Every structure is written in C-alpha cells, then in structure tokens.
A and B are shown apart, each in its own frame.
Chain A
Amino acid sequence: VAEALIVGAAESPYRRRAEPGTTTAQLLRDAFLRALASAGLEPRDVDGLGVASFSLAPDHAIDLAWRLGLRLRWLTEDTNGGASALNMLAHARRAVEAGDADVVVLLAGDVLGTDDFRRLVDGYNVATRDHLAPLPFGGPNSLFALLTRRHMLRHGLARETYGAVAIAQRAWAGLNPGAVYRAPLTMVDYLSAPLVADPLGRFDCVPIVCGADAVVVARDRPGVRIRALAASYNPDGQEGDGLVSGLPGRLWEDAGVGPGDMDLVSVYDDYPAMVLVQLADLGLVSGESLARFVDTEIATRRLPVNTSGGQLSAGQAGAAGGMHGLVEAVLQLRGQAGHRQVGGARTAVVSGYGMVAYRYGACANAAVLEAAP
C-alpha cells in the first residue's frame, strides 16, 4: 500500500477581527487554495474533502464542496473542535491508503465575533447549555481555572511557571509574521494582567481570532510522513481531574521512535496548564520538576514547543485551533518556517485536544511526523 503523506499545508492569515463582510467560507477557500499551491496541485486534483468549523453553519461540508466546484468521492465533516484536525487526518490517511480518495484536503476555520463566541460556548452541548451557561460560567476559562488550580496543587507550581510558558511562546510569535500577538511579553506584564478567573489572567486564556488552516493528504508525492497517530476519546467520563489527556496510547510503539527523538513539538495550547499536561503525557518532560523543565527546556528552546507562538500568541481561530499546530509542524519539517525555522528539524509530535463535554476536554489525539528523506 502506498503511504499517505501530508503533501501541503497552509494557513489563511489570522486576524484579531475579520474584515467586515468576511465569511468563514471565504477564509476556508483561501486556506484551501494556499494549501493546494504549497502541494503543487490544482482544485481539479482534489477528490476528497474534510471540514471542521463552528461557524460554517447552516452550510456543511457538501455545501462548501459545491461552492468550491469540487467533484468528490470522499467527504467528511468533523465536530471535534481542537481534536478535529488530527481526527480528520486519521480518517483521510486511511482513505488515501485504501484508495477511496487520491487527494484529500482537510480544512478548519472560523470567523467568530464576541457574540458568536458567547453563543457558541453557552450552547456547546446539552450539559453546558443546561448546567454551565446558567451559572454563569463565561466559557471554558472558568473550567480551566479550576483545572489549573488542581495542576498547581499537584505539582507545587506558582503562576510564574505558566507565565514562563506564555512568555516563551510569545517570543516564538515574535518570529512569526502570521501570529496575531507578537509584542514581547514580560513576567511583569503576565502577572499584572487582569485576572479572568483566578488563577488565570488574560495571558493564560487563548485569544479568539479569525482564520483558517488546511492540509493536503495524498500518495506518491513528496511529503511529510505520518509515522503514527493515536487518539483517546472520553477516557474518564469527565469524572477525573483533567490532568491527563488519555494519551499517548500506542503512539510511540507505532511510531518506532521515542519522545526523545523529537526535534519540535506542537501541543494544543488553549491554556498553559494544558501545554504542560500534554507534554507530560507524551513523555516529553524530563526530570522531576515541571517548573525546572519549563525554565531549562521550553524557555531556552532546547525543546522547541509551539514554534508559531501557538494559539496563545498566534490566536485561536475556532475549529482551526487544532490544525494550527499541525500546519506549523509541517512547515517546520519542510524547512519553510522562516525566521523561526528549527535548524535540521526532521521529526515532530503534534497534539490535538478539545471538546469540553462538561469539566475539561473529552478528546485528545497526537501524531508523530517525519520529514521526507
């Protein structure tokens, strides 16, 4: 079986607010064209499409296919938020390897204003609509404030450790012209920012932006290898502490390489605590002290984590949040990451996380990627 590879990846530039009149479909179109161009392919080459978006409604994947003029034999739509990109990649990879499709484009993007976002988070699912929105809870920030408190207690951390994660990512963002928030961040800025929900301040909470991402999956073309992909959905029924994601499962066994072999990491970063939770789950944390690990590995870039600036600085474009880190890893492995290029990057691990069913994310997945020989 010919191996499915990621042969193209691109991002439609993120904006804090979309230009008036800009629609989600237009941003998805832009990401679609950019990703195809990066793969040296044309729209007529595409016979598979996957879409994740909170704001495309009432249109669905088929409506987008129609409006893009695509003739398809494989189509999917994914509702798994920050885990949608890797979930779609898992399906697309198998479809391309089985011959159900030859060229699949996976799209994720959103245009969400403040009111749209409020409606989205208050009506996220039945449990949220019925039992969280009437609290009120203000969206996931309060839930991750409680999770971060548990994380602080478990690991004996102070706010400064989370601040160091946010500051390190902001420094990466300074090298990424596509990041929305690029101004250097200091610990004084971090600690003196208004609190959103104790202990989370403004710089702990992922900023909502507008944008779209896309990747192209195909065979028999140069591309980035998917060495392994693992997923964990509803691992603990929302009854645990949320300080484990359910990964890595069989990720490293299937990949045939280990966490120590990774040249860079893209972990889903809605909050700094979740960066640390996923790094630990994936076996990337060395030593006993998380605080020391952040200072010696992340802040120094000995372990390059979220090299685009991550969602914490590049911004979270709704459902594109889960594809942002994937696109960044592919750019890095193709040597196309500009001033933030990690020299000689050959391997990367990418994670997705999301869908707060009630108290924390219920979906997690991760992929190990490798540059073409």
Chain B
Amino acid sequence: VIPITVCAGCDARFFPERLLCARCGSSEVALGEVSGGVVEEATLLRRVPGAALLNAVPLGSVRFDGGHPIIVRLDQRAERGARVELELDGGAPVARLYRREST
C-alpha cells in the first residue's frame, strides 16, 4: 500500500500528502492508504544527467484507485491499462503487475 491524503468531507484522495483538500477546501484531511491502480503511460529511463544507466528503469504513470495519476517505478515493462499493486520503497511508489493465480 502507499499512504494517501483522504478528505473526510468529499472523499477526494491525493498523493503525495496535501495540507487541505484540493477539491473542496476542507481542512478535515486524514492519512489513508491505497493498494492498487492502473497504468496510463510507461517509459524506460535509459539516461540520467551525465550518464547512461547500465540497467534501464521502467517508470510509469499510474492512476491509483479512487484518485489521480502518480509517478511509479514499474517492476517490469507494462502497457497502458495494466492493473498494478502499489507499495512504497524508500519513499518511491513501486508498482507490481497484478497476476491472476492460475488454477
């Protein structure tokens, strides 16, 4: 799961933390959590300033459930529409592709 700000007034959800509800202006915001979302776009980060990466990093924009898009590291390359599970790794939101257990 990742920590989110949840508005007690209108149930709007935000990541990262907000100080007031950006939708209704309420100060009644509390810490909540969310565990899943859907990939909207993905990229493969191949270079950082001054250097090429030995291992390219899959990054994506994921709309978390009930909320808005956030920037994540993907555990593997993913397509638009893929369902993911979210967790925090040293502050970084990480998304793992959701796999149905085969029966």
Contacts and interface: CB of A to CB of B under 8 A. Distances in A.
A132 B45 CA distance: 13
B73 interface: yes
B1 to A, nearest CB: 15
Contact of A142 (B45, B89, B90, B91): B45
Nearest to B48: A138
A86 B1 CA distance: 41
A359 B48 contact: no
B22 interface: yes
Contacts of A293: none
Chain A contact patch, size range: 35 or more
B45 A359 contact: no
Given A131-B71, A137-B71, A146 B59 contact: yes
A258 interface: no
B43 A135 contact: no
B54 interface: no
A221 B87 CA distance: 60
A149 B69 CA distance: 14
Chain B contact patch, size range: 20 to 34
Contact of A150 (B41, B46, B50, B73): B41
A143 B61 CA distance: 9
A358 B16 contact: yes
B82 interface: no
B91 A134 contact: yes
Interface string B80-93: 00000000011111
A136 B14 CA distance: 21
Interface stretch (A177-185, A189-197, A315-323, A328-336): A189-197
B90 A138 contact: no
A118 B71 contact: no
A197 B47 contact: yes
Contacts of A141: 45, 47
A138 B45 contact: yes
17 contacts: A118-B50, A134-B90, A136-B45, A138-B45, A138-B49, A138-B53, A139-B48, A139-B49, A141-B47, A142-B45, A146-B71, A195-B44, A196-B45, A197-B44, A197-B47, A200-B43, A239-B22
Given A118-B49, A136-B48, 18 more contacts: A117-B49, A131-B16, A131-B92, A132-B71, A135-B92, A136-B57, A138-B48, A138-B53, A138-B57, A146-B60, A146-B71, A194-B47, A197-B43, A198-B44, A200-B43, A237-B14, A239-B22, A358-B71
